[in-house]
């Protein structure tokens, strides 16, 4: 498993993915996530009050069960969603867990190996904006808390559409806009005041990552705008479901 993690997917020969992407913002984000990778799972549980496990289970439930299916989890991070996705692909199924961040994938690879899933889930390093897979490769593509960090989202959505089989689904779990004004006010206070302090304390890291996260949430498209972007990428049917009052949303887009 670790050998497959060390592959660099989507970069021209002789370059790493980060060198190939050439985006200073993206490189800075990747450095921040590398710094917190060992404590990422613990921080997720603390900062979401454990809700992220339920959110991910619900996300996986929107992927239809198939026999011998192939699925791609983009921004797989530490592997939680890829492991859940594996259960939807049937006895002969295959899941590719892809992330740009090497340190996060290392943690995910260890988790996958501990569950004896090395033969079913392959970890690869790659960029969502330039997927190396052939057209019509996957029954499903998922992304959990990843799309917010993608620099060129329209390009990534076009790539996801391309690699999906006709009738395939893209299921996207991401932070969104709370539906209640009161909840928005409370969530903003928590995100900009408590989240950075807790995150930095647990991670023992004083980079800007836990200041970056709430800002990235605030500037991310809301439910309707994200649905419109997916439709513009070619998806014929797009729906979304709010969770926890719209703090997060699951978008389901069908090719």
Sheet of 70-74: strands edge to edge? 121-125, 94-99, 70-74, 138-144, 164-175, 248-254, 237-243
pTM, whole model, 2 decimals? 0.85
- Cβ-count burial of 77 within 10 angstroms (0-12 exposed, 13-18 middle, 19+ buried)? buried
The pLDDT mean for the chain works out to: 85
Nearest to 151 by CA among 30, 247, 31, 250: 30
Place of tokens 């887009």: 253
At 16, the pLDDT band (50, 70, 90 cuts) reads: very low
Place of tokens 């006709």: 166
Q: CA torsion sign, 157 to 222 to 246 to 236? A: negative
d(CA 29, CA 215): 12
Of 131 and 32, the one with more pLDDT: 131
Q: Please say if the pLDDT value at position 32 is more than 80.
A: no
In the Cβ-directed half-sphere of 129, how many Cα atoms lie within 13 Å? 17
Q: Please say if the pLDDT value at position 192 is more than 80.
A: no
Give the model confidence (pLDDT) of 53-101 as tens digits: 999 999 999 999 999 999 999 999 999 999 999 999 999 999 999 999 9
Whether the CB-CB separation of 141 and 74 falls below 8 Å is answered with yes
d(CA 201, CA 104): 19
Whether the CB-CB separation of 230 and 251 falls below 8 Å is answered with yes
Given CATH 3.40.50.150, say whether it is the number of domain 2-178+221-254: yes
d(CA 25, CA 22): 9
At 9, the pLDDT band (50, 70, 90 cuts) reads: very low
Residue 168 CA, distance from chain mean position:
18
Where are the chain's structural domains? 2-178+221-254
Place of tokens 């069960």: 65
Lowest mean pLDDT among 26-40, 196-210, 235-249: 196-210
Coil vs helix vs strand at 229: helix
Identify the bridge partners of residue 249 per DSSP, sorted by sequence position.
174, 242
Q: What was the pLDDT predicted at 24?
A: 58
At 191, the pLDDT band (50, 70, 90 cuts) reads: confident
Structure tokens at 180: 């209640």
Place of tokens 């926890």: 244
At 185, the pLDDT band (50, 70, 90 cuts) reads: confident
């Amino acid at each position: 498993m670790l050998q497959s993690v060390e592959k660099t997917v989507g970069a021209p020969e002789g370059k790493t993915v980060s060198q190939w992407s050439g985006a200073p913002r993206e490189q800075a984000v990747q450095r921040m996530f590398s710094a917190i990778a060992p404590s990422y799972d613990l921080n997720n549980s603390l900062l979401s009050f454990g809700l992220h496990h339920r959110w991910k289970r619900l996300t996986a439930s929107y992927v239809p069960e198939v026999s011998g299916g192939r699925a791609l989890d983009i921004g797989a991070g530490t592997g939680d969603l890829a492991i859940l996705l594996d259960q939807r692909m049937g006895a002969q199924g295959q899941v590719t867990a892809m992330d740009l961040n090497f340190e996060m994938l290392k943690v995910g690879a260890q988790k996958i190996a501990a569950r004896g899933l090395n033969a079913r889930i392959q970890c690869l390093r790659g960029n969502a904006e330039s997927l190396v897979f052939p057209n019509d490769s996957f029954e499903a593509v998922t992304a959990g808390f990843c799309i917010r960090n993608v620099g060129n989202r329209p390009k990534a959505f076009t790539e996801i559409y391309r690699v999906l089989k006709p009738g395939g689904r893209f299921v996207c779990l991401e932070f969104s806009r709370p539906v209640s004004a009161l909840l928005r006010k409370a969530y903003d206070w928590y995100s900009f005041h408590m989240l950075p302090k807790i995150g930095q304390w647990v991670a023992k890291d004083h980079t800007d990552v836990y200041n970056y996260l709430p800002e990235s949430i605030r500037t991310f498209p809301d439910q309707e705008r994200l649905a419109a972007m997916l439709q513009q990428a070619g998806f014929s049917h797009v729906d979304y479901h709010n969770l926890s009052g719209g703090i997060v949303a699951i978008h389901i887009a069908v090719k």
